[in-house]
Amino acid sequence: MLGGCSDPPAATAAASAAATPPTSTPSIAAPGRLIVLAEDETGGALVSLRPDGQDRRELLRGKGLYPAAVDPRGAMLAVISVDERDGLHHERLELRPLGDAGLGPPTWTSEPATHVRNPSWGPDGRFLVFEAAFTSFRDIYRVELPAGTLTRLTDNTEGNFEPAVAPDGRSIAFVSSRDGNAEVYRMTAEGGEQTRLTSLPLDDWGPMWAPDGQTLAFLSNRELIDRIFLMRPDGGEQRRLTADPTPTREPDAPLGDEPHETDPTFAPDGAAIAYCVRIGNLGASLRVAPLGGGAPVVLSDGSASDRNPVWSPDGARLVFVSNRDGGDLELYGVARDGAGLTRLTQREGADWLPRWAPR
């Protein structure tokens, strides 16, 4: 997963029809800048832009570059670089200084492997954890900065994935298949005291921490469709995020039009989770669910594919990726309550994988 996304996808298809430009772009007051993958006929570039879509700047041009995670200070960007050569697939993790003038040369670069993904920063930006297939199917590593000292935290032949550093930097939630199916585990930030938190049939994955560190969200297909669940950091009080009824489906039936919840992300104040509801291949609806109970706020109706939401640092707005105007994937912004929907990008080629830098 590249931050909030899964494995680096292939390049998206070219536009099938020209999109109608908006007549105006209202001013959007939100802090920070967006870091985006902008694809074009040459391969693409990493670009930054203001939350209103203006002041677009190219940071780094090259093929096979994916923005993965901005460090909490907004000073560094973790980049996944993908190289296809002589029939071999190689991925590397690069840590690059992030400034107004662009991205600097890497201060640390991993060795290549078939999979190097899902980086998660420590709270002070002084260490980073990620999963990689350096000498195993997949294990979790920690790199100390600025020295670049690399430590292997897990060692299981069945694989360990999707590390997420707790807000206080003392724990890491992760996924492992060591006991059969995928389950959520927790360990210290140094790799000790590895404890299983979930234990039900089928799979649990994608753990993420609430900003106060008192709640973990994760995805599970324990009800035969993908749903977002919550639990305490010790695995207790597991419960569904939403109260939507679960459709009836036989265990061996093929997936069809069941509503699958995807792409959860905590609001900076910890009071809500933005997520998407995908129905078959028709589209995805963007929603915000309060953690204190109550009905989710429906931000889009699912007639288009609205995906990959990211929160502004102040929690007032969301930016997401959509094909709603009939062409390439573009970025859109909307207020937390659904007001002020605005198209932010408009160009030939897809703009996607948004990351919100705090400055």
Read off the pLDDT band of 247 (50, 70, 90): low
Output the pLDDT for position 256.
Answer: 53
The confidence score (pLDDT) of residue 11 equals: 34
Q: How far apart are CA 205 and CA 202, in angstroms?
A: 10
So what's the pLDDT on residue 22? 38
94 vs 41 pLDDT, higher one: 94
Q: Is the pLDDT score of 20 beyond 80?
A: no
Enter the tokens of residue 325: 């105007």
pTM, rounded to two decimals: 0.89
* Interval 123-142: pLDDT, tens: 999 999 999 999 999 999 99
* Residue 16: pLDDT over 50: no
261 falls within a domain:
yes
Q: What angle do CA 308, 324, 311 make, to 5 degrees?
A: 30
Is 321 part of a structural domain of the chain? Answer: yes
pLDDT at 298 > cutoff 90: yes
What is the CB neighbour count within 10 angstroms for residue 11?
14
Return d(Cα 312, Cα 25) in angstroms, integer.
18
Overall domain count for the chain: 1
pLDDT of residue 43: 86
User: Are the beta carbons of 102 and 59 closer than 8 angstroms?
Assistant: yes
Amino acid at 48: S
Tell whether 28 is covered by a domain: no
pLDDT number for residue 359? 86
Quick check: is 308 in a domain? yes
262/255 Cα distance (integer angstroms)? 15
pLDDT digits (tens, 9 = 90+) for 198-207: 998 899 999 9
**Would residue 322 count as lying in a domain?**
yes
pLDDT of residue 279: 79
Q: Is residue 216 part of a domain?
A: no
| Cβ–Cβ under 8 Å, residues 294 and 283 | no
pLDDT at 293: 84
Is residue 276 assigned to a domain? yes
Q: What is the pLDDT of residues 60-102, one digit of tens each?
A: 999 999 999 999 999 999 999 999 888 899 999 999 999 877 8
Whether 333 is in a domain gets the answer yes
Q: Which domain holds residue 314?
A: 241-248+255-359
Question: C-alpha dihedral over 326, 331, 335, 340, to 10 degrees?
Answer: -50
CATH number at residue 272: 2.120.10.30
